[in-house]
A and B are shown apart, each in its own frame.
Chain A
């Protein structure tokens, strides 16, 4: 294909990508260098890196960063482990498979905010779990600073595990049974077959699930916003911290909010680079 044809074919997608990604990113970077306020959108001035300096000196930013990283580090492995486990179990089920499948997928189908509200209500005063705990201990369970982080993570695992499950389960359906049977005839135990046949087959799917889960967890917003609100600002993730700074009616620091957004993007990029480099190298190796 000559250069002219190549340009002709890629121009539409490059234009759309530019409009939808490069322009917003450029605008975000520009606004992060201004003192733009929600209460005065018509007037802002260039203030250089002052917003970045303020954000990096803000304990709330580092608190949110720490919790975001902890959230990713704890929830993603659990979600993947449970997803693989459920997929392996369901793969062995013959009768009623569709019922189990629907039941496991249900948390993922529910609208995120609705699911979070339902989940929160279970643990709120008068909720089923709170009531059961009160029956046993005599004291009602209430969401407070000591347990809200645990509940946020528990909700994430409940909500996102079905995604890992369905991807892995789909991958298992493409696993050639001859390979599994051959390994079994050769005396392979379940664990050996799992590590040496199943996992290599699922490698690219697991990589995909990991990348998506990390990105989703890193930018988690709705569940944390619903659970933590302004009451538990120790449990804010970067996205929620950003919204509080930029969009709270009484604060409304849009310039600072854009600086937080830029730093968040840099953070996720840094977190994903090792994965992307490894993936690229493997693809090159596969081709050669």
Chain B
């Protein structure tokens, strides 16, 4: 905690110093509004801007800014929520609510669609943010980003991260979490059984009988929800070099030989590795199963890696023994998505959007990301935390050599809904080919009904 405070102070001092220099050499509006540090003397012609604190270096608002936030929670998001709370020193108040990811998405959609949203800020993945943006429910942030780009070092976020939350040149979020999925494994157990860390889905499935015979679970992943099936399916299909739909026309590509093969790989994971209970583990359950030693090989979100070193929640026999490897492949590309998570502002937000944006900046600046890096991947170049997770290499390789971002076509949301609903029936015995055929029929019917195909 001391290290974090010290780092925060150094960064804040640097930020304040650079802002002061920028203010002296510039007369534009951005420089006028947020240039002075708490202790800096104000020029006679300019009002003094008081920054809230080192932890949230944004101007103190004259009036209370009440912000309701909705999203879904995992460890690094919990930390970012704490960073938002730090901004209460700037005369803000935050009511932060978390739901299950699917319910949060439904709730946000309904709320924003009313045209008078009760949330001033929403949190989600790039996939969800793009879906909202396609519906015109989010505020483009380009002007605000340009205004505060230098002051808050927004160029430290690589362009590739911005691209994930950009639609038609409009940016809808500030990326704050870098995420993907990759292999988690218990090195000691795999060494004992003479199993090499798998690099392909076939190798992972082949390892299962040996693991199960030795009394361990097979190769495991989260397959208890339709959306999880969709993401895992997209991973496998992407590793075979296929995008599920044409991003220009929306026409489906997934009912093909590769599409059925991808579904068959997931079906094999269920029947040969996961068994009857694989459809009962949530993401939290999979994480906990690794922490207790129940799982020794599987596929999990990179944002869960830090938990493997949590001495309070990981059994001593497992602590420090879970290692990380890049995502698997079924062909030439790694089956790993490029995900970012971030905050966004509803298009018809009921309060001053700039003040909401400033809170987002205060909670995602270098100081905040340094603190968040203890729990997972962050987005600012050069920001790290010595107490952070050990999966940096697996995360970087998986992201850079993975299947990339989800598709942005407006019909992609329908594809995701239908493929997830169809594939999850594999748990109850549906064949891969039947599931894919059913998904294609449902997708075409719904996308045509909504005039989204060309």
Q: Mark A residues whose CB is within 8 Å of B.
A: 37-42, 54, 124-125, 139-140, 142-146, 229-231, 233, 247-253, 256
Asked if B109 and A38 sit within 8 Å, CB to CB, the answer is yes
Which of A41, A140, A142, A256 makes the CB contact (< 8 A) with B115?
A: A41
Asked if B450 and A144 sit within 8 Å, CB to CB, the answer is no
Asked if B279 and A144 sit within 8 Å, CB to CB, the answer is yes
Does B135 make an interface contact (CB < 8 A)? yes
Which of B102, B110, B224, B425 makes the CB contact (< 8 A) with A38?
A: B110
Given contacts A54-B449, A142-B280, A230-B226, contact A251 B135 (CB under 8 A): no
6 additional A-B residue pairs with CB within 8 Å, beyond A142-B276, A142-B280, A249-B108 = A145-B429, A231-B424, A249-B109, A250-B131, A250-B414, A253-B449
Instruction: Please indicate the chain B residues that have their CB under 8 angstroms from the CB of A231 in the complex.
Output: 224-226, 279, 424, 427
Asked if A251 and B414 sit within 8 Å, CB to CB, the answer is yes
Query: Complex formed: what's the CA distance from A39 to B133 in Å?
Result: 10
In the complex, how many residue pairs between chain A and chain B have their CB atoms under 8 Å apart?
Answer: 78
Query: Complex formed: what's the CA distance from A142 to B108 in Å?
Result: 31
Instruction: Please indicate the chain B residues that have their CB under 8 angstroms from the CB of A251 in the complex.
Output: 414, 417, 446
Query: Complex formed: what's the CA distance from A230 to B103 in Å?
Result: 12
Instruction: Please indicate the chain B residues that have their CB under 8 angstroms from the CB of A140 in the complex.
Output: 276-277
Instruction: Please indicate the chain B residues that have their CB under 8 angstroms from the CB of A144 in the complex.
Output: 276, 279, 427-428
Asked if A142 and B421 sit within 8 Å, CB to CB, the answer is no
Given contacts A38-B113, A230-B420, contact A249 B226 (CB under 8 A): no
Does B453 make an interface contact (CB < 8 A)? no
* Closest Cβ–Cβ distance, residue A258 to chain B (whole Å): 15
B53-65 to A contact mask, C-beta < 8 Å, 1/0: 0000000000000
Instruction: Please indicate the chain B residues that have their CB under 8 angstroms from the CB of A247 in the complex.
Output: 106, 110
* Closest Cβ–Cβ distance, residue A127 to chain B (whole Å): 10
* Closest Cβ–Cβ distance, residue B215 to chain A (whole Å): 14
Interface residues of B, dominant DSSP: helix
Asked if B277 and A146 sit within 8 Å, CB to CB, the answer is no
* Closest Cβ–Cβ distance, residue B183 to chain A (whole Å): 24
Does B433 make an interface contact (CB < 8 A)? no
Query: Complex formed: what's the CA distance from A139 to B275 in Å?
Result: 11
Query: Complex formed: what's the CA distance from A288 to B137 in Å?
Result: 63
Does B105 make an interface contact (CB < 8 A)? yes
Does B157 make an interface contact (CB < 8 A)? no
Which B205-246 residues have C-beta < 8 A from chain A?
224-226
Asked if A142 and B414 sit within 8 Å, CB to CB, the answer is no
* Closest Cβ–Cβ distance, residue A90 to chain B (whole Å): 38
Asked if B135 and A39 sit within 8 Å, CB to CB, the answer is yes
* Closest Cβ–Cβ distance, residue A226 to chain B (whole Å): 11
B306-344 to A contact mask, C-beta < 8 Å, 1/0: 000000000000000000000000000000000000000
Instruction: Please indicate the chain A residues that have their CB under 8 angstroms from the CB of B280 in the complex.
Output: 124-125, 142-143
Please list 7 pairs of residues, one from A and one from B, whose beta carbons are closer than 8 Å in the complex, sorted by A's number: A125-B281, A139-B276, A142-B276, A142-B280, A145-B428, A231-B424, A250-B414
* Closest Cβ–Cβ distance, residue B438 to chain A (whole Å): 11
* Closest Cβ–Cβ distance, residue B96 to chain A (whole Å): 20
Instruction: Please indicate the chain B residues that have their CB under 8 angstroms from the CB of A40 in the complex.
Output: 135-136
* Closest Cβ–Cβ distance, residue A146 to chain B (whole Å): 7
Asked if A146 and B109 sit within 8 Å, CB to CB, the answer is no
> Which B residue sits closest to A144, measured CB to CB?
B428
* Closest Cβ–Cβ distance, residue B225 to chain A (whole Å): 7
Query: Complex formed: what's the CA distance from A252 to B281 in Å?
Result: 28
Instruction: Please indicate the chain A residues that have their CB under 8 angstroms from the CB of B109 in the complex.
Output: 38-39, 249, 252
Query: Complex formed: what's the CA distance from A38 to B417 in Å?
Result: 15
Instruction: Please indicate the chain A residues that have their CB under 8 angstroms from the CB of B446 in the complex.
Output: 251, 253
Does B437 make an interface contact (CB < 8 A)? no
Asked if B450 and A249 sit within 8 Å, CB to CB, the answer is no
Asked if A142 and B449 sit within 8 Å, CB to CB, the answer is no
Instruction: Please indicate the chain A residues that have their CB under 8 angstroms from the CB of B226 in the complex.
Output: 229-231
Asked if B277 and A249 sit within 8 Å, CB to CB, the answer is no
* Closest Cβ–Cβ distance, residue B304 to chain A (whole Å): 19
> Which A residue sits closest to B425, measured CB to CB?
A145
Which B420-454 residues have C-beta < 8 A from chain A?
420-421, 424-425, 427-429, 446, 449-450
> Which A residue sits closest to B424, measured CB to CB?
A231
Instruction: Please indicate the chain B residues that have their CB under 8 angstroms from the CB of A256 in the complex.
Output: 449
Instruction: Please indicate the chain B residues that have their CB under 8 angstroms from the CB of A142 in the complex.
Output: 276-277, 279-280
Asked if B413 and A250 sit within 8 Å, CB to CB, the answer is yes
Instruction: Please indicate the chain B residues that have their CB under 8 angstroms from the CB of A252 in the complex.
Output: 109, 113
Most buried by B among A140, A144, A230, A233: A230
Does B416 make an interface contact (CB < 8 A)? yes
**Across the A-B interface, the 8 shortest Cβ-Cβ residue pairs:** A145-B428, A250-B417, A249-B109, A39-B135, A250-B413, A125-B280, A230-B226, A249-B106
Query: Complex formed: what's the CA distance from A230 to B105 in Å?
Result: 14
Most buried by B among A124, A144, A231: A231
Query: Complex formed: what's the CA distance from A105 to B448 in Å?
Result: 50
Query: Complex formed: what's the CA distance from A146 to B420 in Å?
Result: 20
Instruction: Please indicate the chain A residues that have their CB under 8 angstroms from the CB of B105 in the complex.
Output: 249
* Closest Cβ–Cβ distance, residue B362 to chain A (whole Å): 29
Query: Complex formed: what's the CA distance from A79 to B225 in Å?
Result: 32
> Which A residue sits closest to B412, measured CB to CB?
A250
Query: Complex formed: what's the CA distance from A27 to B12 in Å?
Result: 56
> Which B residue sits closest to A243, measured CB to CB?
B106
* Closest Cβ–Cβ distance, residue A21 to chain B (whole Å): 23
Query: Complex formed: what's the CA distance from A39 to B414 in Å?
Result: 12
* Closest Cβ–Cβ distance, residue B223 to chain A (whole Å): 10
* Closest Cβ–Cβ distance, residue B127 to chain A (whole Å): 10
> Which B residue sits closest to A233, measured CB to CB?
B421
B40-78 to A contact mask, C-beta < 8 Å, 1/0: 000000000000000000000000000000000000000
Instruction: Please indicate the chain B residues that have their CB under 8 angstroms from the CB of A229 in the complex.
Output: 225-226
Asked if A125 and B449 sit within 8 Å, CB to CB, the answer is no
> Which B residue sits closest to A140, measured CB to CB?
B277
Instruction: Please indicate the chain A residues that have their CB under 8 angstroms from the CB of B281 in the complex.
Output: 125
Asked if A250 and B225 sit within 8 Å, CB to CB, the answer is no
* Closest Cβ–Cβ distance, residue A57 to chain B (whole Å): 10
Query: Complex formed: what's the CA distance from A229 to B224 in Å?
Result: 11
Asked if B417 and A248 sit within 8 Å, CB to CB, the answer is yes
> Which B residue sits closest to A245, measured CB to CB?
B446
* Closest Cβ–Cβ distance, residue B395 to chain A (whole Å): 27
* Closest Cβ–Cβ distance, residue B159 to chain A (whole Å): 28
